Amino acid sequence: MNCMEFQNALPDLLDGGAAPEVEEHPKSCTACAGLVADLKEISAQARLLAASEEPGEHVWARIMESVESDALGHTEVPAPLRALWWGAGQSRWAIPVWAASVAALLLLGFEFNTLRQAPATPPEGVAVVQPAALVDNDDLQLLSVVEKRSPAKRARYKAHLEAVNASIRDAKRSVEEDPANELAQERLIQAYDQKSALYEMAMTRSMQ
């Protein structure tokens, strides 16, 4: 089994229903083993993000609707992978889980596509978080991917990420101040949705 075939079977592996050869592949491929480890780590971290508050069913319905309608380019999420995302959050307060998973999986999806051409080395400076900056580690990693393709674009995307992150921060504050405010909840969901769309755009452009 090569890396491409493994990539195609990755959702089955994460879903726990993979063929034996799929499970064998990462044992002999350090790049794919790293990818699996990263995905498991993200899944675990995403669960830790869960807060104590449970959203109502209507919030879930809206999140589902929001993601399902986010079909620009008609990107189909494989059913098992979709189950992994939703399964991780359905019993918890899932906005951060969903956003982190979408962003991270998109990022990893791209990273995996590039694994076959280049060794998976973390981009320089990724581990450093600037406390004053409005971007996190994932954002810095995304920016390094953008920069590889076009150095001039890094600053532009950074500014856009900062704007989107500011909108998440503001909406989050508003929800914290008034947890019953459904509109603030909707705006928070929308802000995360925008961030995931920005990630998608940045990486689509970077892959071209």
113 binds another protein (CB under 8 A): no
Nearer to another protein, 43 or 185 (CB): 185
**Residue 176: CB minimum distance to another protein, A:** 13
Residue with token string 């050869």: 21
Nearer to another protein, 117 or 208 (CB): 208
Q: Which long-range contacts (CB under 8 A, 24 or more apart) does 33-38 make?
A: 34/120, 35/10, 35/108, 35/111, 35/112, 35/115, 35/120, 36/10, 38/108
Pick from 49, 184, 196, 199 the residue near another protein by CB under 8 A. Answer: 184
In this structure, what token pair is assigned to residue 205?
A: 């452009």
In this structure, what token pair is assigned to residue 23?
A: 């499970």
167 binds another protein (CB under 8 A): yes
**Residue 57: CB minimum distance to another protein, A:** 16
In this structure, what token pair is assigned to residue 3?
A: 């890396």
Stretch that binds another protein, among 86-94, 98-106, 131-139, 183-191 (CB under 8 A): 183-191
Pick from 27, 28, 48, 69 the residue near another protein by CB under 8 A. Answer: 69
**Residue 187: CB minimum distance to another protein, A:** 4
Mutual angle of helices 79-89 and 95-115, in 10-degree steps: 140
16 binds another protein (CB under 8 A): no
DSSP code of residue 18: -
Burial class of 153 by CB neighbour count within 10 A (0 to 12, 13 to 18, 19+)? middle
Pick from 25, 198, 199, 203 the residue near another protein by CB under 8 A. Answer: 198
**Residue 160: CB minimum distance to another protein, A:** 5
Q: Nearest to residue 95, comparing CAs of 176, 204, 3?
A: 176
Contact yes or no for 197/157 (Cβ under 8 A): no
In this structure, what token pair is assigned to residue 104?
A: 């991270």
Binding site for another protein (CB under 8 A): 69, 71-73, 153, 156-157, 160, 163-164, 167, 170-171, 174, 181, 183-184, 186-187, 190-191, 193-194, 197-198, 201, 204-205, 208
